[in-house]
Structure 1
Amino acid sequence: MAAFNLTPFDPSSFILTGIPGLETAHIWISIPFSTFYIFGLFGNFTVLFVIGKEQTLHKPMYLLLSMLALTDIGTSTSIMPKALCIFWFNLKGITVCGCLTQMFFLHVGSMMHSAVLMTMAFDRYVAICNPLRYTTILTNERIAKLGLVGLIRAVLIILPLPLLLMRQPFCANRIIPHTYCDHMAVAKMSCGDITVNRMYGLVVVFVIIGLDLTLIALSYGLIIRAVLRIPSKKAHQKALSTCTAHIFVMLISYPTFLFSTLTHRFGQGIAPHVHIILANLYFLLLPTLNPIIYGVKTKELRDKVGKYTCIM
């Protein structure tokens, strides 16, 4: 019986079901999903184009915005083409290699997103607490190096996830109730012991993401202390207004990321379709909202985008 239930790790496929219980509504669900995806691509490519074309925007803050835009494009593109194939054409099969590759790039993008947000918090800290030294502390070259370190960190942290899964025996039932290959969703298909997978996933969430959140909180604690020492209320508002876009993005991204990640482990009482829809929206809403939030709250970027819009 054991030999019948277990299959070796071979080039066979998994089946992604889409959104369990809502299969008949897949076409209708695809409309907002594809709309968010298209608008997200358009917004982020617009940000990249404008920052690339305008020499005045070749500054650390806008280099970080470019990194955020690239990360958003990568994460949303790693899941949406396959999800739309499921919704539109009922193409649910995905090879094991393709599944692990999707999972790798998806989670690397999430880790990179957190690293960029942490670097943005440091950028705001230097800009407000050490404005006279800002241009010497945060050069474009230094920001590029920090971005590279963040990418290397993400790759090294996430690489063990597919490697651990490759060692697992998978059951004959290879149906994954999801629209994409999340780490825990794939791990639950294993007939072996996935304790190491579970523990490592929790370490990534609580240690790595927890460290990023702690550093972000420390940066904003120092920012608030510095702002409160400024006697002018107008100066208070001006200093804090430079942080509002970043704060909005963090308030959207971290709670939804933690909800999506922890639901796989502890959210047995949550309906699967609710969890899966919210997990997809995390990778769709952020890429759509980030260009809007930064475009509205950053006057220099807003003016440059308006300039190219008028030309078109």
Structure 2
Amino acid sequence: MKLARIGAPGAERPALVDNQGKLRDLSGEIPDLTGALLSDAAIARLAALDLSALPEIAEGQRYGAPVADTGKIICIGLNYTDHAAEVGLPLPTEPTIFMKGCRTTGANDVVHLPRGAEKGDWEVELGIVIGTGGLYITEDAALNHVAGYCVVNDLSERSYQMERGGQWTKGKSFPGFAPVGPWLVTRDEIGEAEELGIWLEVNGIRRQDGNTRNLVFGVRRIVSYVSQFYALEAGDIIATGTPAGVGLGFDPPVFLKQGDELRLGIDGLGEQRQRIHAWHG
């Protein structure tokens, strides 16, 4: 099942995509798509609805972030074998964790670079959406805590991340640096996301072209590992790392600029499109 939120920022309504690819309005069934409504039982209730009886939503409207109240965006760094190689770093022996300190935005919303940005970069990632929270989750039980998956663009300003001291978070957290969606695709459709094509284009040029089979740490390991340090909560998103092809990895590097267009996606999880704007605030 593909779950979404449709409408202008702050006025989104919950929706799902039916088997014919039509958007159906869920606002008569639930007030919004929140973490509290991502448990297995809540998703099963939505799956049992007569979709043909739900009002149809016209195409062409904005997709908001598919979860209304994401609390934490937890990121895993250097989690693809090819990406670690391109940036010249050894494979981690444990998952590398950092945070994004911004809110999620819609899949196709405009992205603004920070004032004076020099090294804006892209990272297409598989997002794990937590449906049932927990602490000290075992790997055997990990999938029971996953509501589903989504596309995440872990945008960065590399000069903040690499050259301004401290940890990576400051380069990852500018407003708008976490486009998510267009949908949350439930776990029953994707399983453990073990072999999904994952790609990104900049101005029509394919820059990233990977597969989740190259993850260093898979979904079960990531969920279990992160829960040793954080109390995971329903609605949290774990971004699982990016394959080779980030701008920083080219020689010379290729960074984002005003007017660039990004297109990115993951098999079965949909596509995003973003236009890059300079900051004028």
Asked whether the two chains share a fold, i.e. TM above 0.5, the reply is no
Higher relative contact order (CA 8 A, sep 6+): 1
Report which of the two has the higher share of strand.
Answer: 2
Q: Quick check: which has more Rg, 1 or 2?
A: 1
TM-score by length of 1: 0.23
